[in-house]
Amino acid sequence: MGKRVLLIEDEPNIIEAISFILSRDGFTVHTHEDGTTAMDKLATQLPDMIILDVMLPGRSGYDILRDVRATPETADLPVMMLTARGQTKDREMAERLGATLFLTKPFSNTEVRDHVRRLIGS
Amino acid sequence: MANTHAPRTGSRIRARRLDLGLRQADLAQMAGISPSYLNLIEHDKRRIAGRLLADISLALQTEPGLLTDGAERTVLEAMQRAASEWEPGLAEVAKADELAARYPGWAGLIAAQAARINALETRAQMLTDRITYDPDLATALHGVISAVTAIRSTASILTSDEKIDAEWQQRFHRNIHDDAVRLAAESDALVTYFDAPDAGAGVPLSPLEEVEAVLDACGWHLDAIEAGQPATDLSRNLRKPAQEVFDTWAAVYARDAAALPIPEVEAAIAKHGYDLWGLASALGGDLAQVMRRLASLPATAGRPPMGLVLCDAGGFPTLLKQIPDFAFPRGTACPLWPVFTALGQAGRPIISEVAIPGHPQTRLTCWAIAQTVGDAQADRPPLLQATMLVMADSAPGQGPAVPVGVSCRICPRTGCAARREPSALGTAPADPL
């Protein structure tokens, strides 16, 4: 089984596209759409890295990232943030909270795949 | 004999002399007259014209026309405010009055353009805030970007060289179609958002200003409500937020009109004049109510213009009725105005004579009181609202007046403990008050 990526994103077609390209590259992709229960999902299924959208229903990606960094089991996981907002303050917020990478939508598939490869290996 | 032709010329001479730091005796000597005669001139008790006016103008380094005609104060203040917005020293601020007197048309243009620039800047800031913080716009943009991201990512998979199963191909084509439909809908929503009527030019900047413009147009006197009818003719064309402000004011107006009918108010004025204490005592209403009622009376011959300020506990004017000689800016007003004093002494009526910088003979009488509004709530402090009525003082006293300004940036007063920021005008060598 390949390295495990947890994709926390609420847009079904983005989920499908990212899952497809990463799966084709050998990664095992798990998905989750709800911000409120994202930490529960992490508690039951620890991935090798997280791809995390900022705008999620129920709870923002920033809040989830804060919890990820505060939880010993997930504190060191690589986290790549996805957001529709490319403004400096959003990037600074993500970096301050401990995001490993920050990717602005619309991104290219190559960018996503290359970053994941770099963070957890192919 | 009193000078009825140009009653303000003497006042202007005195103000200019004080601005230059000259003693009465100095100027009298320069003009070749006695100090006592100059004193009479300065108090508008002697006519001045011709050679003497020319000599005094020369001594005061100004134009005779400026002393006799003066310049429109509101234009002057607008010019000074315009200069304060730019690099210090760029404009000859000290000569604003001279420019206004010599070229009133150009001065008016500067004032109008400065007001326009301010209005546009405020509007630009509002639009920026709207784009940055409006949750509806954020949602619409997020929808567009999400759809674009999905389309880009899916299309990239379909156009890659790698082979894709027919089933996946079909699925991705369907996804692209769905996202394209969604993108079209989100784009429509965005276009509708930016085409909204309240994004158009020429619309008043805030609901408060919109309401004040409507009230200014009718002199703050609402005939319909006086007749027991709703004032829908006036509020019909207001935007919704302004309509809410107007409706709140109309409800207050209706209560005031019912409590203090115009005939009773006129009868009390006939007996007490425009002395607020006397009127309040005769009418029995609370002071703020009497102030609002006076400011809403129909304009008639002999009635002095009356300004009104309603102010919340944070010092923000929630409604402003401006009158000539009374310019009260929203947000940057001088803290010495009695309406702010009243806020610090809730329930205590205040009467105060105030003087405007550069115009020592112009006095305004201000009555102010702060009262609690709304229902008391156990876990919150009482809400305060201050009301101030302003009238030009027809017989200014010789005693000291409170030296208020318009706002610190265009106030030339020196040694003012209430100053918040340096003046962009520089300071006068001698403070008239």
Which residues face B368 on adjacent strands? B350, B388
Which residues face B364 on adjacent strands? B354, B392
CA distance B369 to B276: 12
- Measured at the CA of B213, the angle between CA B209 and CA B214, to 5 degrees, comes to 120
Out of A97-111, B197-211, B255-269, which region has the weakest mean confidence (pLDDT)? B197-211
In SS3 terms, B272-316 reads as HCCCHHHHHHHHCCCHHHHHHHHHCCCCCCCCCCEEEEEEECCCC
Q: Which residue has the higher pLDDT, B198 or B265?
A: B265
pLDDT per residue over B85-138, tens digit each?
777 778 888 788 778 777 878 888 888 888 788 778 877 877 776 666 666 777
pLDDT per residue over B67-83, tens digit each?
776 666 677 777 888 88
User: Does the distance separating the beta carbons of B157 and A20 come in below 8 Å?
Assistant: yes
**A53, A8 Cβ separation under 8 angstroms:** yes
pLDDT per residue over B322-380, tens digit each?
887 777 877 778 899 999 999 989 899 999 888 877 665 678 899 999 999 877 777 77
- Ordered strands of the A79-83 beta sheet: A28-32, A4-8, A49-53, A79-83, A101-104
Distance, in angstroms, between A53 CA and closest chain B CA?
A: 11
> Is the sign of the CA dihedral B364, B336, B276, B312 positive or negative?
positive
Question: Could you give the dihedral angle defined by the CA atoms of residues B268, B274, B277 and B281, in that order, rounded to the nearest 10 degrees?
Answer: 0
Residues of chain B with C-beta less than 8 angstroms from the C-beta of A106: 145, 148-149, 152-153
Residues of B (140-179) whose Cβ lies below 8 Å from A: 141-142, 145-146, 148-150, 152-154, 156-157, 160, 162, 168, 171-172, 175, 178-179
**Burial class of residue B266 in the structure, from the number of CB atoms within 10 Å of its CB (0-12 exposed, 13-18 middle, 19+ buried):** middle
Question: What are B343's two structure tokens?
Answer: 């806020």
Out of A87-91, B22-26, B76-80, which region has the weakest mean confidence (pLDDT)? A87-91
ipTM for the assembly:
0.91
**B12, B40 Cβ separation under 8 angstroms:** no
pTM value surpassing 0.80: no
pLDDT band at B203 (very low <50, low <70, confident <90, very high): very low
pLDDT band at B431 (very low <50, low <70, confident <90, very high): very low
User: Does the distance separating the beta carbons of A16 and B175 come in below 8 Å?
Assistant: yes
On the question of pLDDT at B13 being above 90, the answer is no
CA distance B24 to B17: 8
**B410, B94 Cβ separation under 8 angstroms:** no
Out of B54-63, B131-140, B281-290, which region has the weakest mean confidence (pLDDT)? B131-140
The 10 Å CB-count burial string (b at 16+, else e) for B198-208 is: eeeeeebebbb
**B306, B325 Cβ separation under 8 angstroms:** no
- What's the whole-number average pLDDT of chain B? 82
Q: How far is residue B282 CA from its own chain's centroid?
A: 32
Comparing CB atoms, the residue among B146, B156, B172 nearest residue A105 is B146
Question: CATH code for A4-73+99-117?
Answer: 3.40.50.2300
